[in-house]
Chain A
Amino acid sequence: MRVVWRGTISFGLVTIPVRLYVATENKNIPSHQIHVNDGGRVQYKRVCSIDGAEVPYEEIGRGYESATGEIVMLSEVDLAMLPAKTSRSIEVISFLPVQAVDPIYLDRSYYVEPEPQGAKAYRLLRDALRKQRRVAVAKVTLRDREIVAALRVHGDVLILATMLWPDEVREPRFPFLAEDDEWSTPSQELAMAEALIDSLSDEELDPGRYRDVHRETLTALIDAKATGRTPTPEGEPGPASRDLLAALRASIESAKQRRSTAGNGGRRRTEPSTAAAKKKQKKPAQPVRGADAPKKRG
């Protein structure tokens, strides 16, 4: 990992010098645009629309679109006038319970590493956040733009998760929401849905339980094509059930069977709902082979 940002965390009167590293990476199999006639890689060149010449990196400026659609060029001198331009600080402004941050506002995650002289204060902040089960909300300037971010504990390190501004989260305007006032959830279906939720519930997320089936099958497909073999087609998913109650019953049975086959692989909730308790009266689920096999996509 390489450092992508250097600065400080300001926490009251405490200043912690830190570095940021990109915390996540996409494991998609890289695909490239190719010229289908000869297999040549398609490349991008930055070309000036006026003189047609390729523009070197150091000659590329920034043009911003105005409200009227006009492109306005802003120089580094112009951008330096923005108030937060010179800030190199992650300024903690408040603390929130972990569950108070709606994940929809979280954008990119960066590992925060203390500089050697800041390790003691870093550990103090980390341990206090962990003990209080809180995240720190902070302002920080990244790439010339001030944003809000959440500092939270992940394992033994702090993560800076950049956050979206409220107007960057789209408002869901779906026709069905307008009909919610007249909607009354059928009690039987609701009980079944709760039972299904209980039967699939864990206390903690275990990402290791999930496989990237798309990547695995794509790798196999690429390998087959590269070695001249005939790829094996994926099976078609079965037709979707149109009976909600039947679909819920089948889902609960399926979940029970998967849990039974997986043994104690998944931690169950300690207090199942009434609906789930009622379901326990039924006969125990039978183990099935391949219950952990990935579902067909569809």
Chain B
Amino acid sequence: MSSCSDCGLEVDHCHGTLVVHDDRTLDCTDAACELPDLLRHPLIVDCVAVLGGCCGAEEPLDFAIAS
């Protein structure tokens, strides 16, 4: 792989910003991103950094209960 003309990296990467959510799922702000993985993204932010966060407070789950 040849180096990136914008940043010089020689491995696969994306210039979007990777957003890490509370449940450790990942989203990239670049709509064309092929794979939202930590190693592919030099720019990574917690979802709290995106407009104060999007995950909200943890809410109790409603499980079916046998007693």
A residues in contact (CB < 8 Å) with B: 2-6, 20, 22, 25-26, 32, 41, 43-44, 46, 57-58, 60, 108, 110, 142-143, 237, 240-244, 247, 298
Which A residues touch B12, using CB under 8 A?
A: 2-4
- Let me know if B59 is at the binding interface, CB within 8 A: no
Question: How close is A34's CB to chain B, nearest CB, in angstroms?
Answer: 12
Given the contacts A3-B1, A3-B11, A4-B12, A25 and B35 also touching, CB distance less than 8 Å: yes
In chain B between 21 and 53, which residues have their CB closer than 8 angstroms to a CB of chain A?
Answer: 25, 29, 31, 35-40, 42-44
Number of A-B contacts (CB under 8 A): 62
Given A41-B31, A108-B38: A298 in contact with B11 (beta carbons within 8 A): no
Which residues in B have some Cβ–Cβ distance to A below 8 Å? 1, 6-7, 10-13, 15, 17, 25, 29, 31, 35-40, 42-44, 64-67
20 inter-chain pairs at a CB distance below 8 angstroms, sorted by A residue, are: A2-B1, A2-B12, A4-B40, A26-B25, A26-B36, A41-B31, A46-B17, A57-B7, A57-B43, A58-B6, A108-B39, A110-B39, A142-B38, A143-B38, A143-B44, A240-B64, A240-B66, A242-B65, A243-B66, A247-B66
Q: Which of A4, A44, A57, A240 contacts B37 (CB 8 A)?
A: A4
Contact A242 B1 (CB under 8 A): no
Please measure, in the bound complex, the distance between the C-alpha atom of A60 and the C-alpha atom of B16, giving whole angstroms: 11
- Residue in contact with A244 in the complex, picked from B13, B39, B40, B66, CB distance below 8 Å: B66
- Say how far A97's CB is from chain B's closest CB, in angstroms: 27
Instruction: Decide: B37 and A22 in contact? CB cutoff 8 A.
Output: yes
Of B7, B11, B66, the most chain A CB neighbours within 10 A belong to: B66
Closest-CB distance, B36 to chain A (whole angstroms): 7
